Amino acid sequence: MDWSKAKTILIVAFLITNILLGVVLFLSGRQVETATKEGFIEDVTKLLNNKNILIDTEISREIPSLNTLIVEYEILDLYEINKNYFNGEGKIESTDQGSKGIIYNNEYVLIENRKKLTYENNNEEEKYTNLNEEQAKTIALEFLQDKNYDTSDMLLYYAKEQDNSYRLEFSKIYNSRYVERANTIVEVDKRGVKKLERIWLRL
């Protein structure tokens, strides 16, 4: 048996098989977007109308695309946080591995893994009466700006009132779209900002 001829035949056969498999995978991998296909929206609208569900809004016929982003977590500097929150007068302490704390009077900042920040205000003095959601949002944004945070890239997406306290959740936005895994949660009551949790992304 001529082994060199047999090897050549096998190599050619494998090449042809690979090309055929590649073509099949390419064709099966092509996705057809049905959500904006002609007639699909009308069919769905009719189906919903038959179930007594009315749609009273304009339905987009374009699929928004978001280019790939290179992101990284905002890295927190302990001394800069101390300066921004307490004019550098807070007492720095180490807690668990990877965590640092800053204490100043009745306020406390915890930094975990240099990425997540938690601020707590234990002062009892009440500064605001008849607090409403809009006022709570203003207080939260002013607090963030006072601590040297850029608020131009954040948008309020959730607000809840409970026991005269507001929980406000802000998300990072990019080109008017929400970016997941980046949020700032602020709790506001009659004392002002009583708690802040923040983990943020840089684009």
Written as six digits, the tokens of 202 are 């840089």
Integer Cα distance of 179 and 16 in angstroms? 45
Collapse the DSSP code of 28 into the 3-class scheme (helix H, G, I; strand E, B; otherwise coil) and give the result.
helix
Residue 197: per-residue pLDDT: 96
Q: Give the Cα separation of 176 and 173 in Å (integer).
A: 6
The amino acid occupying position 155 is L
Domain architecture of the chain: domains with CATH: 3-50 (no CATH), 72-202 (3.30.310.160)
Q: Are 157 and 169 in contact (CB under 8 A)?
A: yes
pLDDT values of the chain reduced to their tens digit, one per residue, 203 residues:
567 777 888 888 888 988 988 888 877 765 555 556 667 778 888 888 888 888 887 777 777 665 777 888 899 999 999 999 999 999 998 766 778 999 999 999 999 999 999 999 999 999 998 899 999 999 999 999 999 999 998 999 899 998 889 999 999 988 888 887 778 999 999 999 999 999 998 87
pLDDT of residue 66: 59
What pLDDT is attached to residue 33? 57
Sequence-ordered strand ranges (E) for the chain: 72-73, 91-94, 99-104, 107-112, 116-121, 154-162, 165-174, 177-189, 192-199, 201-202
* CB 182 within 8 Å of CB 172: yes
Question: CA Rg, the chain, in Å?
Answer: 28
Quick one: DSSP state of residue 23? H
Comparing CA positions, the residue from 128, 143, 155 lying closest to residue 193 is 143
pLDDT at 35: 59
pLDDT given at position 137? 95
Taking Cα atoms as reference points, which of 86, 88, 41 lies closest to residue 62? 41
